[in-house]
Structure 1
Amino acid sequence: MKNVLLDFEKTTHVFNTLLNSGLHLEKNLKKRKLTFKNSEEENVASLRLSLNIDLDENGQKLRELEFVNYVLILIRSGQASLGLFENGELSDHKVFRAYMVRKKQGKSQIKYLKTKGKSRAGSRVRLAETLEFFDEINLRLNKYFSEFRIDSIGLSCATTLIPYFYGGKEVTPFEKNDKRIFKIPMHTSTPTFEALLKIREFMSKTEFELISEEYVSSFKPLFTNDLNNFIEKEDEDW
């Protein structure tokens, strides 16, 4: 069965139905994901909560948040895109570019230095641009965090770039283990402004995945009015 996107009312309906079906709940806050398991610890269904929905203190009820500010951060070698969203609406954005890829090999400068262990003139230029690239990203983020209350931080960054993101001269305005960070659940090969808007639209709804065939008949009627919301997507290595 394909995944489906739900609004708050339908998300609450699905959540309560699953919770009252004798299933137990497993939470992954980093992914904003709730997984429902049966008595044999088999996954039955999952909900990836939208950015305006959260669990209450007891973890047994969903609540709709009145006002949420968040940033989306997309970083790949040579290009990045940042977006500041006030209550789900785009307030500011910026696309960054840098000369980080070696033309003939198509390999990022960071990977080249890691595999070759040395740097020539052209490589030094690319490395300098790489460091400046991350400083500019963090400068913009510091501006956002100093001017706004940020409730959630969506991050999609290649593993090899993480040390440079957090280790530049311009300090990142949050720690690696900040509880507000969640992993963006969509793969983005090129972090453009359009990609930013696509992710924002996707994250504005809850994603429901029915895993167990045994429960298809029970939940299929819930989606009769949501045929247009069935989705297929490429996951960000979840």
Structure 2
Amino acid sequence: MNRFLSRETSLQLLRTIQASSHRFIYEHEKHRVVLLNEGGEELAFFRLPIVFPPPGTPTPVEVAQVNYVMLLIQSGNCALGYFEDGINLDHKVFRSYMVRKKQGTSQIKYLKTKGKSRAGSRVRLGETVEFFENINERLQAYFSEHEVHRIAISCSKTLIPYLYHSKVPTPFEKNDARLYKIPKHIHTPIYEVMMDAHKFLLKGKLIYEPVQQALIDALLGEASDSPEDVDEEEF
């Protein structure tokens, strides 16, 4: 089962888990708490809102400020932004001529099977290079001006090498511990899509089997969200 929780209910649930006798571990890469039984078997997963620092951080969740960047990239389209405590302070959308119109495939994928062609391919490749340079320039600005705690990213494996091998380097490494792969399908990146994904990341998410319903009810207690705050949709 999947259950989405508001920021307030997520905070109450996290407090309850930390104060209880239930065993749990925190998975930094997925920003989630895993509830365990005495034998170490997984009972439930609780993805934390992106504005929550990792459990055990000296600063309490209520007063901690989490700064983060969202980066969404698909062939020829990118939306990125800088956020503080759930507020978008800056954003930028980039578009590039990277797709072969008749075939509908990106020039990058085409090169893997057909190699370079004529002038059109050179134009697309040139725009691809500029596309990633522009992205990294904006990222460099964010990281130079702010302390960034998290990097929420959605980027296809095909495009990852172009992001990290651009002449303008990314302000983080491929194995940076702050990287957080957004656990949601992302449509063509535009500002509205980025903000929709951000709304998703601001919620907590419980994943559990029906047999654990009693455990979940006990942990939530009176902290259960109202119907409009609960979303059973699969992502």
Identify whether the pair has TM-score above 0.5, normalized to the shorter chain. yes
Which residue, out of 155, 158, 168, partners 2:156? 158
Which residue, out of 186, 189, 193, partners 2:187? 189
Task: Tell me the alpha carbon deviations over residues 49-102 of structure 1, each in whole angstroms, 9 at most, x when there is no partner.
Answer: 11222234489x973452222110000001000111123211111110001111
Please give the TM-score of this superposition, normalised by the length of structure 2: 0.87
Contact 1:100 1:127 in 2 (8 A): yes
The 3 A distance-change label for structure 1 pair 21 and 99 is: same
* In 2: Cα distance, 1:55 partner to 1:189 partner: 28
Task: Tell me the alpha carbon deviations over residues 5-26 of structure 1, each in whole angstroms, 9 at most, x when there is no partner.
Answer: 2324x33443455567765324
Which residue, out of 109, 113, 120, partners 1:115? 113
Contact 1:186 1:233 in 2 (8 A): no
Contact 1:34 1:46 in 2 (8 A): yes
Residue matched to 2:231: 231
Structure 2: runs of 5 or more not aligned: none
The 3-state SS of whatever aligns with 1:102 is: coil
Q: What code does the residue aligned with 1:219 have?
A: I
* In 1: Cα distance, 2:18 partner to 2:103 partner: 52
Counterparts of 1:89-108 in structure 2, within 5 Å, are 89-108=87-106
Contact 1:34 1:47 in 2 (8 A): yes
Aligned length: 232
* In 2: Cα distance, 1:93 partner to 1:186 partner: 20
Query: How big is the shift at 1:156?
Result: 0.6
Residue matched to 1:170: 168
Query: How big is the shift at 1:174?
Result: 0.9
The 3 A distance-change label for structure 1 pair 114 and 49 is: same
Q: What code does the residue aligned with 2:10 have?
A: T
Residue matched to 2:213: 216
Q: Does 1:14 align with 2:13?
A: yes
Task: Tell me the alpha carbon deviations over residues 153-198 of structure 1, each in whole angstroms, 9 at most, x when there is no partner.
Answer: 1111011000000101111111111111111122112111001111
Contact 1:186 1:234 in 2 (8 A): no
Which residue, out of 179, 182, 200, partners 2:177? 179
Higher strand content, 1 or 2 = 1
Give structure 1 regions of 4+ aligned residues with deviation exceeding 4 angstroms.
16-23, 39-42, 221-224
Query: How big is the shift at 1:208?
Result: 2.0
Contact 1:52 1:65 in 2 (8 A): no
The 3-state SS of whatever aligns with 2:53 is: strand
CA RMSD of aligned residues (A): 2.5
Structure 1: runs of 5 or more not aligned: none
Query: How big is the shift at 1:41?
Result: 5.0
* In 1: Cα distance, 2:91 partner to 2:57 partner: 36
Counterparts of 1:130-141 in structure 2, within 5 Å, are 130-141=128-139
